[in-house]
Structure 1
Amino acid sequence: MTISSTPEGVCVKPRHLHFDVSEDLKTLWHGDDAFRTAFFNALSLQFPDGEQQFINAVRLYRDKIQDPKLKGEIRGFIGQEALHSREHKAYNEALKARGYDIEGLDRRFQKHMEWVGKLPPSRQLAGTCGAEHYTAVLANAILRHPEWLEGATPTMTRLWQWHAIEETEHKSVAFDVYRECVGDENLRRIVFLFVTWNFFRYTFLNTCSLLKTDGKLWSLRTWMGGLNFLWGKPGILRQCLPEFLAYLRKGFHPWQQDNRELLEKNLRQFDVGDPA
């Protein structure tokens, strides 16, 4: 019996790419805009430890999966997330060049991740599914709206597109493992509420910390532009909100948002060839 729900034509395998962003991150790389740069940088700060926790949570159930297709996708998921963690760790190290207190920000998030790592396996996996939903929805939005990265440097644009492509490819892997090994719909939805709180909390705190270093924390103009970017026009979070909330529906599954054509289009434009 096939448990994997990854559609035909979608390949969950890592691409061994490297992005030298050291020079880009010495600048306000997103169109010389302090808020947009800080927002994307704030997201990156959560990825190295967050994606390692995703790997750990799935590994706790890997041996219980018999479906060969899903077992292969778990290997691909782990490979993709490990490379994302590596590239965003280098990304975050490069942020130190601008004088950001990255070590302090890391300690704050690592403390939270240590707490998550002590939860029962079912809750860790439910948390992974919830967090993967956020990354999948944001990934879809980045691929669908390339104008949201308009003005970004070419290397940074390519890094975020690569991450978005692979998050889309493996968006159902942890979910399928959860559905097979845990299957508790109430737990899935309750844990998602906690994931939501922490996702927005750490993104907001990190954005504020980065803006403070830039001397823009109390800039009304910076915040007005930022709020417009997130909730006004284009309103990237506002546009994503219906998809975020879809996770709370009974019977939800990530591939109910079937964006294979968008994925294929971006793969052609990205021109990375076949995954290794």
Structure 2
Amino acid sequence: MPGGAEEARAEETATQAGAARMTVRRMGFAYPPAMSGHWNRKRPEFSQIVNAASLAMPYLEPYLIRTMRAARPQIRDQALAADLDSYVAQEAAHYRQHRTFNEELKARGYRSIEGLEAKIDASYAKIEAKGTLASNLAYAEGFESMALAIGEMLIEDRDFLFAGSESGVASLVLWHFVEEIEHKNVAYDVFEHVAGNYFRRVGGFLHATGHIFLLTRAGYQTLLKEDGLWRNWRSRLALARLLVRIFAKLTPKLARILVPGYSPRQVADPAWALAWARLFAKDGEAAGRLDTGRLDAPEPVARAA
């Protein structure tokens, strides 16, 4: 995992060389002491799906960073090298913010989190140790293509998924995926530059998607068990309905990744994501406190300070 000095240098390099393509943002998110693990009280099952996914970020993101840094000496295009540096800086910010949020979850009494984190850590260590640079780049590209699809889905369905939830958590998740959309081309371009191959790309996508989905499922199942909800039939029915809704919207976006000739450049940036970036440029603090009572608006609105 990169140290603080390395992260600071990466952010400085990205700001200088890649600012025209991506923005490295220093965000602040507030988590009230009274907030429970069910930060969306209407949808506790969705809360735990997001919480489970967040647990992976302090291990997944550093793995992606190490993989991209390993590829950098082979990058012969100066613009792509600058994009790679910006990508690394954004991903470093992501895992730091998720690590903070995960500590907040632990402080709310979830005893199972440390065990889940140990399994996730070991899982990524194994993938990295057994993989070649080409296979690790394929995983990274596969994850980023999946993340682009998830980001689109979350933004499209933001009102249903986040309405009335804690502003800090909704702002964290939506910030993260706006930036996944913003750097959507980088892992694809690096993979194509160093190890491009259709079958390797699809294999990496299937590996990354299957791996993340299994980790997330194990995580939310464990957290819901600790909540006492896993064996509650109403909660299980709500979870099933939620998953059907999510995958009905997500599957077509994932399927396009399998098409030969797919490129993330074919995917238009959602208007709301572009509006979020404009909000941050105008008022960075506002972007960290979205009004979850008005997420259906075509442009993000900040909660009153």
- What is the TM-score of this pair, normalised by structure 2? 0.81
Residue of structure 2 in register with 1:117 after alignment: 128
Structure 1 unaligned residues grouped into runs of 5+: 1-8
Q: Does 1:188 align with 2:201?
A: yes
Residue of structure 1 in register with 2:265 after alignment: 255
Residue of structure 1 in register with 2:215 after alignment: 202
Identical counterparts, % of pairs:
27
Q: Does 1:168 align with 2:175?
A: no
Which amino acid in 2 is paired with 1:203? Answer: T
Deviation at 1:63, TM superposition (A): 1.6
Q: Does 1:238 align with 2:248?
A: yes
CA distance in 1, matches of 2:267, 2:240: 27
Query: 1:149-176: CA deviations, max 9, x gaps?
Result: 1121111111112111111101110110
Change (3 A) 1:142 1:123: same
Query: 1:205-224: CA deviations, max 9, x gaps?
Result: 00001001111111111111
Deviation at 1:143, TM superposition (A): 2.2
Deviation at 1:82, TM superposition (A): 0.3
CA distance in 1, matches of 2:177, 2:39: 18
Greater alpha carbon shift after TM alignment, 134-143 vs 114-123: 134-143
Residue of structure 1 in register with 2:294 after alignment: none
Which amino acid in 2 is paired with 1:241? Answer: T
Aligned with 1:15: secondary structure?
coil
CA distance in 2, matches of 1:114, 1:228: 34
Deviation at 1:97, TM superposition (A): 2.0
Q: What value does the CA root-mean-square deviation take over the aligned residues?
A: 1.9
Change (3 A) 1:270 1:36: farther
CA distance in 2, matches of 1:260, 1:225: 28
Change (3 A) 1:132 1:16: same
Which amino acid in 2 is paired with 1:39? Answer: I
Aligned with 2:261: secondary structure?
coil
Deviation at 1:133, TM superposition (A): 1.4
Match of 1:140 among 124, 127, 152: 152
Change (3 A) 1:178 1:208: same
CA distance in 2, matches of 1:66, 1:36: 43
Deviation at 1:273, TM superposition (A): 5.1
CA distance in 1, matches of 2:32, 2:93: 17
Q: Is the 8 A contact 1:99 1:213 kept in 2?
A: no
Greater alpha carbon shift after TM alignment, 122-131 vs 189-198: 189-198
Aligned with 2:74: secondary structure?
coil
Residue of structure 1 in register with 2:172 after alignment: 159
- What is the TM-score of this pair, normalised by structure 1? 0.89
Query: 1:44-82: CA deviations, max 9, x gaps?
Result: 111110011111111111122122221111111001000
Question: Quick one: higher RCO (CA 8 Å, sep 6+), 1 or 2?
Answer: 1
Residue of structure 2 in register with 1:104 after alignment: 115
CA distance in 1, matches of 2:87, 2:188: 12
Deviation at 1:251, TM superposition (A): 1.1
Q: Alignment length, in residue pairs?
A: 263
Match of 2:235 among 211, 218, 222: 222
Which amino acid in 2 is paired with 1:200? Answer: F
Structure 2 unaligned residues grouped into runs of 5+: 1-18, 285-305
Deviation at 1:22, TM superposition (A): 5.8
Greater alpha carbon shift after TM alignment, 133-142 vs 27-36: 27-36
Match of 2:21 among 3, 8, 11: 11
Greater alpha carbon shift after TM alignment, 196-205 vs 209-218: 196-205
Change (3 A) 1:83 1:188: same
